[in-house]
Structure 1
Amino acid sequence: MQLPTSPLLSVVVAVYNGEAFLDQFFSCLVAQNIDSMEVIIVNDGSTDGSMGIVEKWREQLPQMQVLEQENQGVSAARNTGLAVATGQYLSFPDIDDYFKPGMYQRLLDMALENTLDVVTCNGNYVWENDKKPSRPIFPLDKLQSTGVMTGPAWLKQALDSRKFLHVTWLNLYRHDFIRQHNFHFEPGLRHQDIPWTTEVLLTAERVQYTSEQFYDYYIHSASVSHKPDTDDTLIRSARHYMKILQMLDAINQRYPEKVSRIPACHWQIAKEGLGIIHTFDNMKDEQKKAMIIREFFERGIWKLIWKSAKSPRLRWRLGRRYFRLKRYI
């Protein structure tokens, strides 16, 4: 009796109230025209008509399974899908984006030919109603196609470009590699792709990047990350980034030898730290601002950012903010 072979690709998809985007998303999946592909839909507590649309597409995607869970966020949904995935390679697309026919086949061909742990392509930023002209996610003059290289070498090159975006949806990951290191997404954390990508690349041995632009990242008003901020959403964002900085620091300490050759691993902590301080600047309620700034110092985040700022320019940018922040304590 012949044992069933595992699919080449598992596509793990978190769905939460995505009825406006799912038809386009499934059209993109079907257009990939890959027979050996399982699709794992994780319904993260949707309350709209998302599941009706999913059912409508079942016939065209026979290797699709649907998992249900209470709303826990995209990280938990990805972990749920990852736990049951059987494919040789994994992908984690967002449902509100567009990916072009041939994307997964091209990345699979590269991955299988070179036994890659991670394979990455380029994409475009696309604005709703053409508010801005679209542009490449990785500028073509800053990051060009590579041969096979180690993960740390690619991470250094990518971070040194100062134009690198930590995302999962431009990548395929070798499943055995992810399983071997027991990688998972941090539950309840927004922008969890930052620590995920950093640690995955620090451990990967074989990585390759193609500057071909297969993926359109859609910037629109319905996206949680692009809605207007209030003081409360700014506080939540600051807390998420404080957690991210602590995770990045822990990662740096786990891989000291590799990180010693990638100064930008420290730079990214200082850069994201400046982003947190910028968040404080945008808050209107002085009491709330004082509360979150106190938390920022009490959690040791300022000390971590200052320690990570190795260049005189970064230290100068931080130093001029220090006394303005201290006024609130």
Structure 2
Amino acid sequence: MSDSPQLSLIIAVYNGEKFLSTFFDSIKNQHLSHVELIVVNDGSTDGSADIIERYAQQFSDFTVLNQENGGVSAARNTGLAVARGQYVAFPDIDDVIYPGMYNRLLEIALQNDLDVATCNGTYIYDDGRPAKKIFPSDRLSSTGVLEGPVWLEMALRSRKFLHVTWLNIYRHDFIKEHGFRFEPGLRHQDIPWTTELLLTAKRVQYVDEALYDYLIHSASVSHTPGTDDTRMRSSRHYMKILEMLNDINRRYPEQVKRVPSCHWQIAKEGLGILHSINNIEDPAKKREITQELFDRGIWSMIWKNARGFKLRWRLGRRYFRLKKIIS
């Protein structure tokens, strides 16, 4: 096989024995001729290692990296450091990848020298709700080649854009040129990743073809009722995300002028933090996290990035409630 595969799939695995066989079979069904698989076993304690070893014999270019558990960001960074492909992708092991997905994305990426090629997907619910497109076609349709900021503004303005890595492939040299890495230990790290990446990309194309099923498990952590502690953790993760987004906006002022929705998304994610705080029941914990919101300058950041009377009115009502909590 060539020393430079067309595509590197960087696969983070943590206790994935329930999903790995189906996942690897879906990659085999892609019928990719120039692909390398980099599997990062992120400290799994179940039978994942045995399944990985079994499938390693079924691919011609398959690397296994074992490390202590550090989370998905650390695992992706480990894989990215050794990837050799012209393009890289970060599929999740518990989702379904359609047979033609990567060939289709490679087709448009190679033909048009793209920094990012992206497609649509489908939400699949395990509780019986009907499937639906991630990006509704009436909000986002297929594009030609666009500059990254143009696509980002279009996507954010649709109010249906999902900050994810798994619907995309990325030109590896572009990632290396900018030194992009995932933030270790941060949940929803895809939000700052995709924002900065699209602000700097020169050539992006989107095809409205649903080639990936995103499985929403009713029993997953993100879809089960939270506790005060999980709400506090979530609030802190999103505070960090807002700080990162704010830093990104400062680093790329000219691009952000073309993407006013970069300000909107800070205010939008900030409203999510306020919602989490409002649902904390323990008065001492609610007071602690509210004080942190002000001490870290998060409230000021949210307010400064809010645009429009309606959003500022919603935030203004919450300001007095928050001040009452810490008074």
TM-score by length of structure 1 reads 0.97
Q: 1:78 aligns with which of 76, 79, 91?
A: 76
Residue of structure 1 in register with 2:167 after alignment = 170
Residue of structure 1 in register with 2:64 after alignment = 66
Rounded Cα–Cα distance in structure 1 between residues aligned with 2:310 and 2:258 = 20
Residue of structure 1 in register with 2:30 after alignment = 32
Residue of structure 2 in register with 1:304 after alignment = 301
Q: Flag the 1:52–1:90 CA change in 2: closer, same or farther, 3 A.
A: same
AA at the equivalent of 1:19: E
Q: Is the 8 A contact 2:126 2:215 kept in 1?
A: yes
2:276 aligned with 1:282? no
AA at the equivalent of 2:78: T
CA deviations over 1:281-313 (Å, ceiling 9, x no partner): 211111111111110110000000000002111
CA deviations over 1:206-240 (Å, ceiling 9, x no partner): 00000000000000145333333111111110000
Structure 1 residues 1-329: aligned runs within 5 Å: 4-130=2-128, 132-329=129-326
Rounded Cα–Cα distance in structure 1 between residues aligned with 2:85 and 2:36 = 7
CA deviations over 1:246-301 (Å, ceiling 9, x no partner): 00000000111110121100000000000000001211111111111110110000
Structure 2 unaligned blocks of 5 or more: none
Q: Which moved more, 1:216-225 or 1:25-34?
A: 216-225
Rounded Cα–Cα distance in structure 2 between residues aligned with 1:61 and 1:320 = 57
AA at the equivalent of 2:262: C
AA at the equivalent of 2:87: Y
Aligned to 1:328, the other structure's residue is in SS state helix
Structure 1 unaligned blocks of 5 or more: none
AA at the equivalent of 2:182: F
Rounded Cα–Cα distance in structure 2 between residues aligned with 1:303 and 1:157 = 27
* 1:4 Cα offset (Å): 4.2
Aligned to 1:209, the other structure's residue is in SS state strand
* 1:59 Cα offset (Å): 2.0
Aligned to 1:65, the other structure's residue is in SS state strand
AA at the equivalent of 2:105: L
CA deviations over 1:27-71 (Å, ceiling 9, x no partner): 111111102100000011000001111112112222111101111
Rounded Cα–Cα distance in structure 1 between residues aligned with 2:282 and 2:126 = 31
Aligned to 1:56, the other structure's residue is in SS state helix
Rounded Cα–Cα distance in structure 2 between residues aligned with 1:177 and 1:48 = 36
Aligned to 2:146, the other structure's residue is in SS state coil
Rounded Cα–Cα distance in structure 1 between residues aligned with 2:168 and 2:247 = 24
* 1:5 Cα offset (Å): 3.1
AA at the equivalent of 2:50: G
Q: Is the 8 A contact 2:148 2:200 kept in 1?
A: yes
Q: Is the 8 A contact 2:127 2:218 kept in 1?
A: no
Q: Flag the 1:221–1:71 CA change in 2: closer, same or farther, 3 A.
A: farther
Aligned to 2:73, the other structure's residue is in SS state helix
Aligned to 1:90, the other structure's residue is in SS state strand
AA at the equivalent of 1:70: E
AA at the equivalent of 1:322: Y
Q: Flag the 1:222–1:47 CA change in 2: closer, same or farther, 3 A.
A: farther
4+ runs of 1 displaced by more than 3 Å?
A: 221-224
Identity of aligned residues (%): 65
* 1:328 Cα offset (Å): 1.4
Aligned residues: 326
Q: Is the 8 A contact 2:2 2:34 kept in 1?
A: no
Aligned to 1:60, the other structure's residue is in SS state coil
CA deviations over 1:138-184 (Å, ceiling 9, x no partner): 01100000000100000010011111000000000000000000000
